[in-house]
């Protein structure tokens, strides 16, 4: 995610300058970022946390960021470019709060939370460094080969691959959790069955009955 986000400070200003023909247009790009952050960041975070889980918010934001980058290589209109950049910013303000909350909730104790957040920031810094170096290199390669859309398409692929890896990891984690819950359910039901054979009362919690159905 950091690889995509740092392009706000690298490739986005370059392409805005190329299309507009003047570096003064770059200020409007950052003005759009400021307006979206000030007006939509808190309302979207509050609304999304009531209707979606952290993983869904993170994946949605990453998808928006990736899809916004794909058409930039074919764009020759400044207004269309600003619209795509706005979509990218929407993805950013959707994913970033979820990522921060998910990093903080990963630690099971408050004592180790600072370590988790520190390692998260370390990964963010490493991804940013790769984004700066790789983004500049891809931009130069694209212009040298007369393929200006090359860096944007590769960044889109990186974003989609990250999304796929996150979805796969999330699915595996849910399956493991379901297996552990089912195993606990079977053991509890077996113990209750043994108590029933000894003419004791059988009490099953509601979530056990749900898994048995």
- Where are the chain's structural domains? 2-151
The pLDDT value given to residue 165: 87
pLDDT tens digit at each of 213 positions of the chain: 677 878 787 889 999 999 998 888 999 999 999 999 999 988 988 888 888 888 889 899 999 999 999 999 888 899 999 999 999 999 999 988 888 787 777 666 666 667 777 777 777 788 888 888 888 888 889 888 988 889 999 999 988 998 898 888 776 666 554 544 444 444 554 455 455 554 444 444 444 443 344
What is the C-alpha separation between 193 and 49, in angstroms, rounded? 41
The pLDDT value given to residue 108: 63
Is 135 buried (19+), middle (13-18) or exposed (0-12) by CB count in 10 A?
A: buried
Q: Does residue 167 contact residue 59 with C-beta atoms inside 8 Å?
A: yes
Classified as helix, coil or strand, 112 is coil
Which element (helix H / strand E) includes 130? helix 113-144
């Amino acid at each position: 995610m950091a690889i995509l986000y740092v392009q706000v400070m690298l490739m986005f200003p370059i392409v805005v300058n190329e299309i507009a023909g003047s570096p003064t247009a770059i200020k409007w790009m950052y003005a759009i970022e400021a307006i979206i952050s000030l007006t939509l960041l808190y309302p979207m975070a509050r609304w999304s946390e009531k209707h979606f889980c952290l993983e869904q918010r993170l994946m949605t934001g990453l998808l928006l960021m990736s899809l916004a980058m794909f058409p930039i290589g074919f764009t020759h209109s400044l207004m269309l470019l600003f619209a795509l950049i706005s979509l990218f910013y929407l993805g950013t303000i959707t994913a970033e709060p979820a990522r921060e909350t998910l990093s903080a909730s990963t630690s099971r104790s408050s004592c180790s939370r600072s370590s988790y957040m520190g390692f998260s920031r370390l990964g963010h810094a490493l991804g940013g460094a790769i984004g700066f170096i790789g983004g500049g290199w891809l931009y130069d390669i694209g212009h040298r080969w007369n393929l200006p859309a090359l860096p944007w398409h590769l960044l889109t692929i990186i974003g989609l691959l990250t999304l796929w890896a996150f979805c796969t990891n999330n699915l595996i984690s849910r399956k493991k959790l379901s297996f552990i819950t089912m195993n606990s359910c079977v053991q509890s039901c077996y113990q209750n069955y043994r108590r029933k054979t000894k003419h004791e009362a059988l009490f099953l919690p509601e979530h056990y009955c749900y898994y048995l159905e």
